[in-house]
Structure 1
Amino acid sequence: MDPGGAPPVFSARAEVTGDHVRVTVTGEVDMATADTMVQTTLREPARQVTLDLRAVTFFDSAAIHAVVQLARRFPKTLTVFPSRQVSRVLEISGLGDQEWLRPL
């Protein structure tokens, strides 16, 4: 975050179609916002989840933990579309080859 600048914009928006929820996340996913991402995902009952992180600009260990939680909750039915930044962080953390992660 830029000291003295505007706070980063974070949003997590869910769209439900039948038993599928698509959560579109923008901005920084960190200790302050990761739980909101998870709660937005879990708010609606769903069997299949798509997490669209293509507009995420920052992704830390709390965000990684949140995605791993969702992967455990939705085995074989979670799909994550990463931004370049998210992809890089997941690769560095050893999660770049997960079946739920889609290539850029």
Structure 2
Amino acid sequence: MFSASAELAGDHVHVTVTGEVDMATADTMMQTALREPARQVTLDLRAVTFFDSAAIHAVVQLARRFPGALTVFPSRQVSRVLEISGLGGQDWLRPT
């Protein structure tokens, strides 16, 4: 079951995502992050169980939109997918 919720604190939005992020839900994840006017975004993906290429694209788009101001906390599955895709060393990715 997918869910994405956002909490705004000043100019920082914290987005918590659970479940599967795929081509059916990746845009919702991204739009949840963009819904609030923020300068800094934290994307908490620690409860994500599946992450596909559409999800990767959404995170890369957020990284482009918020250069130096995106933080991603991945689940083990998300970390593995990002490593395989060559994105494991990005500065926005935090170890779990």
Query: Which TM-score band (shorter chain)?
Result: over 0.9
Match of 2:26 among 16, 29, 34: 34
Instruction: Give the match for residue 97 of structure 1.
Output: 89
List alignment gaps of at least 5 residues for structure 2: none
Identity of aligned residues (%): 88
Q: 1:48 corresponds to which letter in structure 2?
A: Q
Instruction: Measure, in 1, the Cα distance between the counterparts of 2:94 and 2:30.
Output: 19
Question: Structure 1 CA distance, aligned partners of 2:8 and 2:37?
Answer: 9
Q: Choose the corresponding residue for 1:67, options 55, 59, 64.
A: 59
* Cα deviation digits, residues 32-90 of structure 1 (max 9, x gap): 00000000000000000000000000000000000000000000000000000000000
Aligned Cα root-mean-square deviation (Å): 0.2
Distance 1:70 1:101 in 2: 12
Gaps of 5+ in 1: 1-8
Hey, what's the Cα distance between the residues in 2 that align with 1:83 and 1:61?
Answer: 16
Counterpart CA distance in 1 for 2:31 and 2:86 is: 25
Matched, 1:18 2:10: yes
Tell me the matched-pair count.
96
Give 1:83's aligned amino acid. Answer: S
Alignment partner of 1:80 is 2:72: yes
Counterpart Cα distance in 2 of 1:60 and 1:20:
26
Larger Rg: 1 or 2?
Answer: 1
